Amino acid sequence: MKFGKMKPQRRNRLMVVGLLVVSAGVAVTLALSALNENLNLYYSPAQIVNGEAPTDTVIRAGGMVVNNSIKRSTTDLGVQFVVSDMHEAEVTIAYVGILPDLFREGQGVIARGQLNGQGVFIAEEVLAKHDETYMPPEIAQTLARSREAADAAAKGATL
Amino acid sequence: MIVELGHFSLILALGLSLCLAIVPAYGVQQGQVRLMNLSGSLAAGLFVFVLLSFFCLGYAFWHDDFSVTYVARNSNSALPLEYKLSAIWGAHEGSFLLWTLVMAGWTLAVSLFSQSLTPDMRARVLSIMGALTVGFLAFILFTSNPFDRTLPVFPGDGADLNPLLQDFGLIVHPPMLYMGYVGFAVPFAFAIATLSTGRLDSAWARWSRPWTNVAWGFLTIGITLGSWWAYYELGWGGWWFWDAVENASFMPWLIGTALIHSLAATEKRGVFKSWTVLLAIFAFSFSLLGAFLVRSGVLTSVHAFAVDPERGMFILGFLIVVIGGSLTLYAVKASGIKSEAGFDWTSRETMILANNLLLVIAAGAVLLGTLYPLLYEAMTDGKKISVGPPYFNTVFVPLMLVLFAFMACSPGSRWKKTPVAFFTSQIVPLLASLVVMTALVLALASRFEITVVLVNTLALWILVSLGRDVWAKVAHKARKVPALFQQSLSYYGMLLGHLGIAVAIIGVCTTVYYSEEKDLRMAAGDMVSLSGYDFRFNTVRKVQGPNYIADQGDIDIFRNDKLVTTLYPEKRFYNASGNVMTEADIDPSLFRDLYVALGEPIGDDAWAVRVHYKPFVRWIWFGGMLIGFGGFCTVLDRRYRSVSRARQAIRAEGAVV
């Protein structure tokens, strides 16, 4: 049966289905490739210290801001601070810009940026949560794991 | 005592909602009109008791009853009264009470304004809404009771409302948003009721269309207000972040936008019937999904309420029952539905189909980006990722640009078949818009941006074709001006909605490309220039607020050495909670905002300061409001009010022919 000879209704339906399939296909392809380029993996301080995190790729890092670790530039908005998993690993984060209101020592933060060759995390964005009792799940997980590790170490010591 | 009364009336409301879910449905099954008609009084009783409970919680806030855990956590004796009262919905428990109140309100409204429905249809719709309310009330009572007390030991003063929420935005944004979210329960109930009868005629589209449009209008305004609030309150001048919770409100909006268009086609032409039903189911499902995402803590977001897995599981279960149940019903019943009318590919039906396709794909893309972190975590055993805004922009923006091109061609297109000459005649306005926009950008903008020209050309093209369509409607009339006011209100609604989109496009595109922003260190007397404006940082002084102390900056803004305005951004320290918050100060105007926010003191009397120049940013929200009002217009249309039951039945049959 030729396309031109089909009943108009059937032809319409076929066109609609075709249109659907093609546009859905295009959209899915677009979406997946865009998704792949814009995923930011999270690495805990321990992973970064152990060299598991890639350098010069956009990733996220986070932890608790270590007390007395904030150092400010006296000429511009540059700032450096150290985040920790409260157990063993610490990572230095450098940032130029205005820190969020809830950024303070002892508070959980997440930064998005790139790790340079010297193991310093160059942040493009620093996030602290807008609710002081809320802990970003990444950090909660990091802390829980480091606590488990600490418990395991303590047990090992007593045995 | 009042608090217990509130709790008790919630329990009564749960009982009433159970009755509303069961009794009218039983009446339908038994064919007893008396039982069916109980739905009206049950809906009224349900609303009264939820409202009473809501007032009781308000009373507890008003009287600083800190023995109530929810009040103690979210209020403080020094909090200004308007924020004490809006703190009712400032956190999870109370905001869900507001959600339920809105649900009960919509249920009552359906029972009051659907007298023209057949008794059996009305009973079905109300009983479905009752069943949904059962779920919401059970959720409050079993997992999130705002009336829980901390007796015998309770704090002398409250922990205070989150400072970010102590703002006009909290008073208006959540109620509007919930009116929209929950309002989609009405077309959902209509869709399920119609499916359950097995008679899917065009009448149901006529019934649910005004409800859908109003709910959608509220949702539009709610989202717009939220964007405006984030802009001035979060202190960094952004108006849309592709944050998980924003997406949660945006997905139902996209599906809802598809739905109001598809309903129009179903009502007028009897086409896309089963598709429209599916959209109605999805619009409400996305609302519920939004509630799940916000309230379960599964996603990281600025809005996320405190994490509680139990609540998450409850909503997830509810979500599965509602979506699973309705889709099963759909699968069983919708296969027999046929759209009788055919249409040519040049028809308005095709335009609406394209609109639906693009919007649904866009919603799907947003859904994918929003849920992908969860999927990824599940697939990779706990690896955490986030999906950045570039993903959303890359996928969403091209889809919308195609949609806008269809939008420009849609006014004046005909049902069934449009002469091809109509589409070729669009080329002249398109080229004219391009020329005008190029000239405007060359003449007025600081630099030439081809993207701005092209995108704003689309907006102008939409405006011109709206104008042409209006002209086509009055051109053959002898008295043209009165004819302008004699169109149907639905038509004005369409005009307003599309006008709003065009205005918002211009706002978004211009502000994205021509905004300028500087973060810098400033001490007294320092100057900085931005887009022809000179900002001078004078001083910072201490200011005492009702429940905070602030450092208030004093910044003069000059243009060509003439003082434009002085802005006073603040850094507030809230006494009760110890929270610090940035309060930006803005000099708004139609064509540009000047925006100044204080960062933090960085030694030697210097401050981190953020200055913005944001052209046309107001147009985004102005456009959003126009779109929302467009949604309200349709409901005022006389066609939807004065149709008698008999005539409706005739129309319903007529549409099939």
Domain boundaries, chain B: 1-161, 190-418
Helix, strand, coil tally for chain A in percent (to 5): 40, 30, 35
For residue A39, the chain B residues in CB contact (below 8 A) are 372, 376, 385-388
Query: Quick one: which of B216, B175, B177 has its CA closest to B627?
Result: B216
Tell me which residue in A34, A41, A141 faces B391 most closely, judged by beta carbons: A34
**Exposure class string for B174-194: b at 16+ Cβ within 10 A, else e:** bbbbbbbbbbbbbbbbbbbbb
Task: Taking residues B126-142, report their average pLDDT.
Answer: 96
Query: Quick one: which of B627, B621, B616 has its CA closest to B440?
Result: B616
In the sheet with B607-615, reading across from the earlier edge strand, the strands are B516-522, B607-615, B592-601, B585-587
Cβ separation of B343 and A12 shorter than 8 Å?
yes
Cβ separation of A12 and B372 shorter than 8 Å?
no
Instruction: Name the CA radius of gyration of chain A, rounded.
Output: 25
Residues A59 and A83 in one domain: yes
Tell me which residue in A77, A101, A137 faces B300 most closely, judged by beta carbons: A137
Q: What is the CATH number of the domain that holds A51?
A: 2.40.50.140
Q: Are B22 and B160 in contact (CB under 8 A)?
A: no
C-alpha B300/C-alpha A126 separation (Å) is 14
Tokens of B18: 């159970």
C-alpha A63/C-alpha A84 separation (Å) is 5
For residue B369, the chain A residues in CB contact (below 8 A) are 31, 35
Sign of the CA dihedral with B181 first, then B183, B189, and B190 last: negative
Cβ separation of A19 and B357 shorter than 8 Å?
yes
Tell me which residue in A76, A102, A132 faces B521 most closely, judged by beta carbons: A76
Task: Taking residues A135-143, report their average pLDDT.
Answer: 70
Cβ separation of A42 and B385 shorter than 8 Å?
yes
Band (A129; pLDDT cuts 50, 70, 90): low
Q: Which pLDDT value is given to residue B650?
A: 45
C-alpha A88/C-alpha A45 separation (Å) is 9
Cβ separation of A39 and B345 shorter than 8 Å?
no
Tell me which residue in A31, A42, A136 faces B365 most closely, judged by beta carbons: A31
pLDDT in tens, B614-634: 999 999 999 999 999 999 998
Smallest CA–CA distance, residue A130 to chain B, in Å, is 6
**Exposure class string for B353-390: b at 16+ Cβ within 10 A, else e:** bbbbbbbbbbbbbbbbbbbbbeebbeeeeeebbbbbee
Tell me which residue in A12, A16, A35 faces B369 most closely, judged by beta carbons: A35
A40 has pLDDT over 90: no
Tell me which residue in A19, A38, A134 faces B388 most closely, judged by beta carbons: A38
Cβ separation of B599 and A99 shorter than 8 Å?
yes
A35 touches chain B (CB under 8 A): yes
Packed helices B273-296 and B244-269: angle between N→C axes, nearest 10 degrees: 160
For residue B364, the chain A residues in CB contact (below 8 A) are 27, 31
Tell me which of A68-72, A134-138, B175-179, B584-588 is least confident: A134-138
Band (A156; pLDDT cuts 50, 70, 90): low
Band (B11; pLDDT cuts 50, 70, 90): very high
Smallest CA–CA distance, residue A153 to chain B, in Å, is 23
C-alpha B162/C-alpha B488 separation (Å) is 46
Task: Assess whether the previous peptide bond of B411 is cis (omega < 30° from 0).
Answer: no
pLDDT in tens, B345-390: 889 999 999 999 999 999 999 999 999 888 888 888 778 888 888 8
B494 has pLDDT over 60: yes
Tokens of B447: 């630099």
Task: Taking residues A46-57, report their average pLDDT.
Answer: 89
Q: Which long-range contacts (CB under 8 A, 24 or more apart) does B310-317 make?
A: B310/B143, B311/B92, B311/B139, B311/B143, B311/B144, B314/B139, B314/B142, B314/B143, B315/B139, B315/B288, B315/B291, B316/B292
Smallest CA–CA distance, residue A24 to chain B, in Å, is 7
DSSP letter assigned to residue B60: H
Sign of the CA dihedral with B403 first, then B405, B408, and B410 last: negative
Q: Write the burial class of residue B478 (CB in 10 Å: 0-12 exposed, 13-18 middle, 19+ buried).
A: exposed
Query: Quick one: which of A133, A108, A39 has its CA closest to B392?
Result: A39
A133 touches chain B (CB under 8 A): yes
Tokens of B194: 């119609």
pLDDT in tens, B220-249: 999 999 999 999 988 778 899 898 889 999
The Cβ of residue B2 has, within 10 Å, a number of other Cβ atoms equal to 16
Cβ separation of A12 and B386 shorter than 8 Å?
no
Nearest residue of A to residue B386, measured between CA atoms: A40
Residues of chain B with pLDDT > 90, as a percent, come to 69
What value does the mean pLDDT of chain B take? 90
Q: How far apart are the first and last CA of chain B?
A: 62
Cβ separation of B345 and A15 shorter than 8 Å?
yes
Residues A27 and A78 in one domain: no
Cβ separation of A98 and B399 shorter than 8 Å?
no
Residue type at B166 in one-letter notation: Q
Band (B339; pLDDT cuts 50, 70, 90): low
Per-residue 3-state assignment (H helix, E strand, C coil) for B215-236: HHHHHHHHHHHHHHHHHHHCCC
Q: Which pLDDT value is given to residue A6?
A: 58
Q: State how far the alpha carbon of B327 is from the alpha carbons of B192, B225, B277, B285, B367, in Å.
A: 10, 33, 10, 10, 19
Helix, strand or coil for residue B537? strand
Phi, psi dihedral angles at B509 (to 5 degrees): -65, -45
For residue B351, the chain A residues in CB contact (below 8 A) are none
Residue type at B647 in one-letter notation: R
Residues A22 and A50 in one domain: no
Band (B6; pLDDT cuts 50, 70, 90): very high
A4 touches chain B (CB under 8 A): no
Residues A61 and A135 in one domain: yes
Residues 6 or more apart in contact with residue B267 via CB below 8 angstroms: B202, B205, B206, B209, B655
Q: Which pLDDT value is given to residue B340?
A: 65
pTM of the model: 0.92
Residue type at B342 in one-letter notation: G
Higher pLDDT, A21 or B121: B121
Residues A75 and A51 in one domain: yes
Q: Are B272 and B202 in contact (CB under 8 A)?
A: no
Q: In which element (H, E) is residue B343 found?
A: none
For residue B582, the chain A residues in CB contact (below 8 A) are 101
Packed helices B348-379 and B389-409: angle between N→C axes, nearest 10 degrees: 170
Tell me which residue in A9, A16, A37 faces B353 most closely, judged by beta carbons: A16
Q: Which pLDDT value is given to residue B300?
A: 59
Cβ separation of B602 and A77 shorter than 8 Å?
yes
B652 has pLDDT over 60: no
The DSSP bridge partners found for residue A78 are A96
B409 has pLDDT over 70: yes
C-alpha B88/C-alpha B71 separation (Å) is 8
Which range of residues forms the domain containing residue A27?
3-37
| Count: domains in chain A | 2
Task: Taking residues B147-151, report their average pLDDT.
Answer: 89
Q: In which element (H, E) is residue B72 found?
A: helix B69-74
Window 38-97 of A, Cβ < 8 Å to B = 38-42, 58, 60, 72, 74-77, 97
Tell me which residue in B302, B357, B368 faces A23 most closely, judged by beta carbons: B357
Cβ separation of B164 and A130 shorter than 8 Å?
yes
Distance of CA B588 to the CA centre of its chain: 24
Q: Are B564 and B558 in contact (CB under 8 A)?
A: yes
Q: How many inter-chain contacts (A to B, CB under 8 Å) are there?
A: 121
Cβ separation of B394 and A34 shorter than 8 Å?
yes
Nearest residue of A to residue B161, measured between CA atoms: A131
Cβ separation of B599 and A77 shorter than 8 Å?
yes
Distance of CA B601 to the CA centre of its chain: 37
For residue B390, the chain A residues in CB contact (below 8 A) are 34, 37-38
The Cβ of residue B533 has, within 10 Å, a number of other Cβ atoms equal to 19
Nearest residue of A to residue B308, measured between CA atoms: A134
Q: What is the ipTM of this complex?
A: 0.80
Smallest CA–CA distance, residue B96 to chain A, in Å, is 19
Cβ separation of B304 and A41 shorter than 8 Å?
no
Cβ separation of B300 and A136 shorter than 8 Å?
yes
Nearest residue of B to residue A43, measured between CA atoms: B384
C-alpha B161/C-alpha B158 separation (Å) is 8
